[in-house]
Amino acid sequence: MSRRHYNFPPLSTLSVFEAAARHLSFKNAAVELLVTPGAVSHQIKALEGELKTNLFERRHRGVDLTEDGKALYEAVSTSFGRISKTLEAIRNRRSSEKVTVGSTTAVAALWLSSSIIRFWRDTPDLNINQITQDRPFKDRPDIDFFIRYGRDFDPQLSHTALYRDTLVPVGSPELADNLKGANLETLARQRLIHLDSEDRTWTTWMDWFRQLGSSEQIPVETSVNSYSVALQLARKGVGLALGWKRLIAPMLESGKLVPIGTNELDAPEQFYLVGRPDEDLSGNARKLKSWIIEEFRKDKI
């Protein structure tokens, strides 16, 4: 059995190695760590002795990383970076009890921001950070929870089902007038605005047509990487966007976008509130989480 649970060398040697590798200088690492260059050199030699390999190539005016050194530095710097973010998130939660919630830009613009404003009316002293991005939320310990379509692949995250949406083509009122009663074959010939997302759980135009039984060829002529942009292009008459009916309800109710045709599809996945388990959330985070869940249950979107 290993004398250490993770079979690590002394963590002090890894810390010194990370600084020396980042600076590519024992001298500069020593300045940062408030020790002598000799102490840095001693720690590096101890680490190389334990690993039985050279991590640096010593040169006249400095050092370079060997292949083993580059591999170790990549692993150590990535791990230290994640630890640093986690420590910062813990400090922030304990010091200010901030709540941080994430979503896509479309979810934020169409629903979440207005919901948070309603929440603030009852709890004006609670600090809420809102983060929006149109890519998966990975390695973000600063986020308490986020709204996601489909389940996250991380088994350690808690999932609360919010609702299942309905997918329907949407466009400008002018396009809607021209395409009244359009069938799948007619819709497939229109300019379709495709969403090019890193998150492959989102239902695509190809998915929509196939699940409705159509075998039409679907060309990709126009694509964007933001659903908000897709909606704006559709609103301006550029083409048709795949509308998440309940999510874009404000734009449908205002008449800025209009459902086109009679074909609808229940979304294969649900929207979830995803994040740390309740026991790991602050009291304020649990309050906001309960509020968001109740807002959905009251059919606010």
Going by pLDDT thresholds of 50, 70 and 90, the confidence category of residue 1 is: very low
Q: Over 60: is that where the pLDDT of 257 sits?
A: yes
Per-residue pLDDT tens digits for 48-73: 999 999 999 988 778 999 999 999 99
Gap between the Cα atoms of 194 and 95, Å rounded: 43
Gap between the Cα atoms of 30 and 86, Å rounded: 26
Determine the average pLDDT of the residues in 253-272. 93
Its CATH architecture, for the domain 166-266, is 3-Layer(aba) Sandwich (3.40)
Per-residue pLDDT tens digits for 129-159: 999 988 888 877 789 999 999 988 888 899 9
Q: Over 90: is that where the pLDDT of 226 sits?
A: no
pTM, 2 dp: 0.65
Which has the higher per-residue pLDDT, 202 or 73? Answer: 73
Return the HEC string of 236-270. CCCCEEEEECCCCHHHHHHCCCEECCCCCEECCCC
Res 299: pLDDT: 64
Per-residue pLDDT tens digits for 32-53: 999 999 999 999 999 999 999 9
DSSP 198: S
H or E stretch covering 135:
none
Per the prediction, the chain carries an average pLDDT of: 89
**Positions of CATH 1.10.10.10 in the chain:** 11-92
Its CATH architecture, for the domain 97-160+270-297, is 3-Layer(aba) Sandwich (3.40)
**Positions of CATH 3.40.190.10 in the chain:** 97-160+270-297, 166-266
Determine the average pLDDT of the residues in 176-193. 92
Per-residue pLDDT tens digits for 93-118: 555 568 999 999 989 998 899 999 99
Q: Over 90: is that where the pLDDT of 85 sits?
A: no
Res 153: pLDDT: 84
Cα angle 32, 38, 42; round to 5: 100
Q: Which of 151, 112, 156 is nearest to 131 (CA)?
A: 112
Q: Are strands 158-163 and 56-59 parallel, antiparallel or unpaired?
A: unpaired
Res 93: pLDDT: 59
Provide the CATH topology of domain 11-92.
Answer: Arc Repressor Mutant, subunit A (1.10.10)
